[in-house]
């Protein structure tokens, strides 16, 4: 099943062409990298998928059910509940501990039962290897630990698609590698993942489809990875 299907998509911001005639398909359980120069449209593509930036022309579908060309506000909120989003700047709530950061998301997405929420929080913290850190505030964690919490937050509702925008950008090499390994593990459990990266070494170490952005377009260069 196609999780994302773009065909001839154009994206403009303030009358400026950002993406033009973009076509690609992301299948369920697929891990895809996006590479390209700063300003080539990588982050903009992710923003179109979660509805922050509109699609001007072409066909753009997520999960087959959501047509991004004419999506209503209520449908957009429903779509966002099915996505997991990971940024490089963490965006954790600094006034509460890890457990309460995660609990806040569950409450906002309709989890009424406190015991069910606590059980789910324990599950995701164990998955990311931080089960004993639920009482910590974000500033008490290392950068790598904070990013693991962000990933835990992203998978709380078992999304079919995770969008990761430079999740290793602020981390040292070894910590960044551990984050990609974690994302690969999550992908193997069934979630499709789109990850923006400037670290080209990752492409040969951890397999995935590779798309390169240039000249407002996108092309699959997975067969050229040995050239890096």
Instruction: Report which secondary-structure segment, H or E, holds 18.
Output: strand 16-27
Rounded to whole angstroms, the Cα distance separating 16 from 41 reads 12
Quick one: pLDDT band at residue 208, thresholds 50, 70, 90?
A: very high
Cβ neighbours for 73, distance < 8 A, ≥ 6 positions apart:
none
Pairing of strands 57-62, 66-67: antiparallel
* pTM of the model as a whole: 0.92
Quick one: pLDDT band at residue 227, thresholds 50, 70, 90?
A: low
Q: What is the pLDDT of residues 132-186, one digit of tens each?
A: 999 999 999 999 999 999 999 999 999 999 999 999 988 898 999 999 999 999 9
Residue with more model confidence, 102 or 223: 102
Pairing of strands 66-67, 16-27: unpaired
Quick one: pLDDT band at residue 121, thresholds 50, 70, 90?
A: very high
DSSP conformation class of 163:
E
What is residue 170's three-state secondary structure? coil
Task: Say how many residues make up the chain.
Answer: 228
Rounded to whole angstroms, the Cα distance separating 228 from 205 reads 11
Q: What is the pLDDT of residues 24-56, one digit of tens each?
A: 999 999 999 999 998 899 999 999 999 999 999
**Phi, psi (degrees; rounded to nearest 5) at 29:** 75, 10
């Amino acid at each position: 099943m196609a999780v994302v299907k773009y065909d001839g998509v154009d994206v403009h911001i303030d009358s400026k062409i950002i993406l033009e005639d973009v076509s690609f398909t992301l299948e369920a359980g697929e891990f895809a990298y996006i590479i390209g120069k700063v300003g080539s449209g990588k982050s903009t593509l992710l923003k179109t998928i979660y509805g922050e930036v509109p699609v001007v022309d072409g066909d753009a579908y997520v999960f087959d059910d959501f047509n991004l060309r004419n999506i209503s506000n209520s449908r957009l909120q429903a779509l966002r509940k099915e996505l997991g989003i990971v940024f490089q700047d963490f965006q954790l709530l600094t006034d509460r501990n890890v457990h309460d950061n995660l609990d806040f998301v569950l409450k906002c997405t309709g989890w009424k039962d406190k015991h069910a929420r606590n059980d789910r929080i324990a599950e995701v913290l164990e998955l990311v290897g931080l089960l004993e850190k639920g009482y910590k505030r974000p500033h008490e964690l290392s950068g790598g630990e904070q990013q693991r919490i962000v990933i835990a937050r992203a998978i709380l509702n078992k999304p079919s698609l995770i969008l990761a925008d430079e999740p290793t950008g602020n981390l040292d090499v070894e910590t960044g590698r551990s984050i990609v390994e974690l994302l690969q593990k999550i992908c193997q459990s069934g979630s499709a993942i789109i990850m923006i990266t400037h670290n080209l070494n990752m492409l040969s170490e951890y397999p995935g489809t590779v798309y390169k952005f240039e000249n407002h377009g996108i092309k699959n260069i997975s067969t050229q990875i040995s050239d890096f």
